[in-house]
Amino acid sequence: MIRAENLRHVYKSSSGNKVALDGVTFSIGAGEFVAIIGTNGSGKSTLAKHFNALLLPTGGKIFIDELDTTQEENIWRIRENVGMVFQNPDSEIVAAIVEDDVAFGLENLGIEPAQIRERVDLALDAVDMNDYKKFAPSKLSGGQKQRIAIAGVIAMQTKIIVFDEPTAMLDPLGRREILSMVKKLHAQGKTIIYITHFMEEAAAAQRVFVMENGKIILDGTPREIFTNVKEMKRLGFDVPVAVELAERLRKKFKLPPKILTAEELAEALR
Ligand code: ADP
Ligand code: MG
């Protein structure tokens, strides 16, 4: 369980202060899959970095399984429980060979070599990259690199995984692969926090946070959030293609309300 109470983050610099999180309160249950959307600069990445204490609150608090990130002695356990996958796969790769890269986090934990090899193999299987374990990461595509980064997190066996726009630099195929991996991890019981600007991806979550100006302004199911087309447009967001299509078709046909997916739209049109 993750709990934020009036969480604030102010970046201080010589050119002035920037309020990036302006009093954010929520709780996320174990095993939930939450997507976070928001315009550029709304505070998504700042929030992401609070989940594993890469940033510390300048006001309010965030608790990861009741561990307060502002208590120095909790940081180690928090980091053992929260894995992070970021946007740019190139900046996440640290080793010259795929299997060493996946093992990196485990070596830092001082785990035995035999166990490291086993966990690395399992993690590479999970992302379907075992054939590449002796490869140089530089030879891989963006999507493959992102899968290696995810394998590194899987190997750590954290309960919570935070993804900060992991598909932003990928092509449609790479995006689909990453999303299907995220769904699989959720099905296995991981808590998933998934930041994206692709509405179709956010629609795959159980719950969506909408951020604006450092605040969570909406918190609901994808159906609640995305079928409110007027509000989404007003806030400057797209809606999933099926929602948009259903909205237009309603001008000519009688369709049920709150259609979210292509499957639902096809069923309604039949
Ligand atoms: P998002 O991920 O939603 O695009 P960010 O969390 O990266 O938003 O940024 C939120 C706000 O904080 C933006 O206005 C951004 O310019 C500012 N910001 C982010 N990182 C820093 C930093 N290191 N120093 C100063 N301001 C920052
Ligand atoms: Mg960001």
> pLDDT by residue (tens digit) across 170-213?
999 999 999 999 999 999 999 999 999 999 999 999 999 999 99
pLDDT value of position 91: 84
In this structure, which amino acid lies at residue 118?
A: E
pTM, 2 dp: 0.95
From the CA of 168, the nearest ligand is 2
Mutate to test the pocket of ligand 1, among 7, 11, 17, 217 (most ligand atoms within 8 A of CB): 11
Q: Whose CA is nearest to atom 22 of ligand 1?
A: 11
243 CA to middle of ligand 2, Å? 25
CA distances (Å), 133 to each of 93, 95, 129, in order? Answer: 13, 12, 7
Distance from C-alpha of 57 to C-alpha of 51, rounded to nearest angstrom: 11
CA distances (Å), 76 to each of 42, 53, 82, 97, 193, in order? Answer: 28, 10, 10, 27, 20
pLDDT value of position 92: 82
Q: Is the minimum distance from the CB of 42 to ligand 1 under 6 angstroms?
A: yes
Residue 252 tokens, joined:
């000519």
End-to-end distance of the chain based on CA atoms, in angstroms? 42
Residue 6 tokens, joined:
């009036």
pLDDT value of position 195: 98
Residue 216 tokens, joined:
């969570």
Burial 180-210 (b: 16+ CB within 10 A, else e): ebbeebbeeebbbbbbbbbbbbbbbbebbbb
Distance from C-alpha of 197 to C-alpha of 187, rounded to nearest angstrom: 22
Count the residues in the chain. 270
Q: Is the minimum distance from the CB of 20 to ligand 1 under 6 angstroms?
A: yes
- On whether the CB atoms of residues 121 and 130 are closer than 8 A, the answer is yes
Distance from C-alpha of 84 to C-alpha of 98, rounded to nearest angstrom: 18
In this structure, which amino acid lies at residue 56?
A: L
pLDDT value of position 90: 85
Residue 153 tokens, joined:
């997190």
Q: Which atom of ligand 1 is nearest to the CA of 18?
A: 26
pLDDT value of position 108: 83
Q: Whose CA is nearest to atom 7 of ligand 1?
A: 45
Q: Whose CA is nearest to atom 14 of ligand 1?
A: 41
From the CA of 87, the nearest ligand is 2
Q: Which atom of ligand 1 is nearest to the CA of 46?
A: 6
**Which strands form 215-220's sheet, in the order they lie side by side?**
82-85, 160-164, 191-195, 33-38, 207-212, 215-220
Residue 265 tokens, joined:
């739209």
pLDDT value of position 240: 93
Q: Which atom of ligand 1 is nearest to the CA of 49?
A: 6
From the CA of 216, the nearest ligand is 1
Distance from C-alpha of 120 to C-alpha of 153, rounded to nearest angstrom: 10
- Using 70 as the pLDDT threshold, list the residues of the chain that sit under it: none
Task: Assign 50 to helix, strand or coil.
Answer: helix
From the CA of 54, the nearest ligand is 1
With a CB cutoff of 8 Å and minimum separation 6, the contacts of 112 are none
Q: Which atom of ligand 1 is nearest to the CA of 21?
A: 10
Phi/psi zone of residue 256: left (φ > 0), alpha (ψ -120 to 50 degrees), beta? Answer: beta
Residue 260: count of CB within 10 angstroms of its CB: 20
Longest CA pairwise span in the chain (Å):
65
pLDDT value of position 270: 87
